[in-house]
Amino acid sequence: MSQYSSLVTRNGLTWLLIAQVLTILPLSFYLPWWVLGLWLGCALWRIQIYKMKFSYPKVLVKLLIVVIIAAGVFFSRGTIIGLDGGVALLIAAFSLKLIELKSKRDAVVTIYIGFLVIVASYLYTNSFNWVVYSLLPIITLLAALIGLNQTKFADDVLGTIKLACILLIQAIPLMLVLFFFFPRLEPLWSLPLPKGSQQKTGISNKMVAGEMSNLTQSSELVFRATFTNTTPIRNKLYWRALTLETYNGRAWSQAWDLSYRRQQAPPWQYNPSTDQRIDYQIVMQPTFQNWLIYLDTPQLLPAGVKRYADFHLERSKMIDSVYSYQLTSWPNAIREPDGLPRININKQLPLHTDPRARAFAEQLKNTYHGNTEQIVNALLKYFREQPYYYTLQTPDMGANSIDTFFFDIKRGFCEHYASATAFILRSADIPARVVLGYQGGEINSAGNFVQVHQFDAHAWVEYWQQGKGWITIDPTFQVAPNRIEQGLREALDAKDQQQLGNNILGYGSDSVFTKLRLAWDNFNNEWDIFIGTFNTDQQRGLLQKLVGTTKLVYLSIFLAIGFIIVSSVWLLILLKPWKKTNDPLLRYFQQFESILASQGIDRELGEGPVAFAQKAQQSLPDFAELIKSFINTFVAQRYAQQFTSSSSLPNILKRLRKMSHRQKWSFSK
């Protein structure tokens, strides 16, 4: 009879249920609530079947359940394909298999589905926390597999879990070889975005006054930046993401003309002998967008990344996982020094809006005779000297929002100041545009990197001047310099800080908790750099360091060498040639010694077999009969050549080993 035709053992079923809990639990954040209820119902049904109180479902009942589940996934996720729909169906299959589980074959199939679920979980995250946690369901699935197929472990919980851990440890060297040297191939297909991913992207390609302050409620990590040399001071860290050149009277957005926006970047120049150079590496968290974050102005772009007409960087593929890239920036570079007539798009404004702001701009233009620098300085001075206030609490500005903010309310967040500044400069016939990104960040001294969160989102302005190109200004700095030099919390009053609650971490704190958090962040940064973002480029970089070339043939060579080394070590450990003997009786006696040693009885140097057995009988009275039987049989066969039964010694050893395991289990309880 095949091993798969026998009934499922209690130990195997128990481990299978535990493995399902550990496997499904972390996915509960991404699944419809009823999928968890489905598993619970199937688990209870399975237990009642085991107790012979429930029967297995009929074919029509199973078909009806499958149809209901498919409909449920479709209506809750909008599709039954893609990441969300596919994982929900996979979990449903993982659960439903319980109620039709009749033989070991069914149980093994269920276990394999469990391994597939764990693999699917890595599509959501590959963080260190998840990698460590995923070892638990892997071990329990292995324990279920062992409990189903190893008779001697049918009632031995400790033995089952111990063997599962040993198998996992044995697999780790091979896993590392495959991770570093198996060729990184491009996927043959792509999955639709998980539901809700668009809501997690932080800043978008549109800025509406009053909406950007919502990001202050999020402490979600956006990226970490590690600098090769000295980390720039905080007020120089303007992390650019998007350039907004179109204004419709309410919102700023990227240029609507895609052909214009997709033009290659205009000329820019820098002086390598005098200008400051910044070398750094950024590790971005998934944004489900194509644009990158950087400091002005980057040189030597990563593979698959282009710089476009508004100087924003865009990757050919969406950033749907942790993404690492290196840049060299020249913050003093002159960008587009001769931009006419292309920069005329940055003078356009909607008709018949905000008349007071237009009149104010016209007044500045007339006062300073159209001198760009003097107009800009006068506007910034106006912000600095008038009673403007930096706050999260702003009312609806109405139709003429620029006028209402600039002349009446005089209270706003960074997008209000950036929007008003760009509008007034354009009204004064000065090309201007809004830049979206992040400002500052938390400097982690433990790892010499800066980590930026969603609450660091910021908007500023750049204007164009003939011969000097685009020049960056930040009107928020004129009103709330603490925002730029220290951080958001330090720039707000007590009422605004209360609104933030505990979402924003206090930068600069010297508490033990802060130091531990920074150390943990440093570890996660190293994990993301060396493991989480390990891709084709890094794999080739590893080859370059090892053999001085990036030819893929060397991957095969290292892969083969790794397999040979790992297999050789495994064989040595399993076969233990240094412990082997050609005498079968001596092998049996060595096993006898090993079992007694596990009970604390060691054979002394020069101690004979009979004396050793007598000592063991006195110390282990429960084992006395088996020890006596073994030693009498061994002496008779070894010294008197009396072979009454060729299998008697193995049988006695088997009984001794089983009793030893039970003794350990009873002691542990």
DSSP 286: P
Query: Is the CB of residue 310 less than 8 Å from the CB of residue 433?
Result: yes
Cβ–Cβ < 8 Å for 134, 118: yes
CB neighbour list of residue 443: distance below 8 Å, 6 or more residues apart: 231, 234, 449, 450, 507
Order of strands across the sheet that contains 323-329? 298-299, 323-329, 278-284, 221-227, 449-453, 442-444
Cβ distance 80 to 120 under 8 Å?
A: no
Is 458 known to be catalytic? yes
The tokens 């493991």 sit on which residue? 531
Contact status, residue 408 vs residue 218, Cβ threshold 8 Å: no
Q: CA 126, 129, 132, 133: dihedral to nearest 10 degrees?
A: -100
Active-site hit among 458, 496, 528, 661: 458
239 burial via Cβ count (<10 Å: 0-12, 13-18, 19+): buried
Scanning the structure block, which residue is given the tokens 């329990």? 140
C-alpha–C-alpha distance, residues 195 and 78, integer Å: 9
Q: Which residues pair with 268 in a beta bridge?
A: 335
**From 156, 414, 528, 661, the catalytic residue:** 414
Helix (H, G, I), strand (E, B) or coil at 225: strand
Residue count (the chain): 669
Count CA atoms within 13 Å of residue 131 on its CB side.
10
Phi and psi of 557, rounded to 5°? Answer: -65, -50
3-state secondary structure of 606: coil
DSSP state of 533: T
Q: What own/partner pairs with CB < 8 Å and gap ≥ 24 does 376-381 have?
A: 376/425, 376/430, 376/463, 376/471, 376/473, 379/421, 379/424, 379/425, 379/475, 380/473, 380/475, 380/478, 381/478
Rounded CA-CA distance 307/291 in Å is 10
Query: Which residues is 439 bridged to in the sheet?
Result: 238
Active site residue 403: no
DSSP string, 149-164: H-GGGTT-HHHHHHHH
Element (H, E) at 335: strand 334-335
- For residue 655, what is the enclosing H or E element? helix 648-668
> Contact 92/35 with Cβ under 8 angstroms?
yes
Tell me the two tokens of residue 494.
């007590």
The one catalytic residue in 84, 474, 521, 528 is: 474
Question: Angle CA(177)–CA(180)–CA(185) in degrees, nearest 5?
Answer: 115
**Which sequence positions are flagged as catalytic?**
414, 458, 474
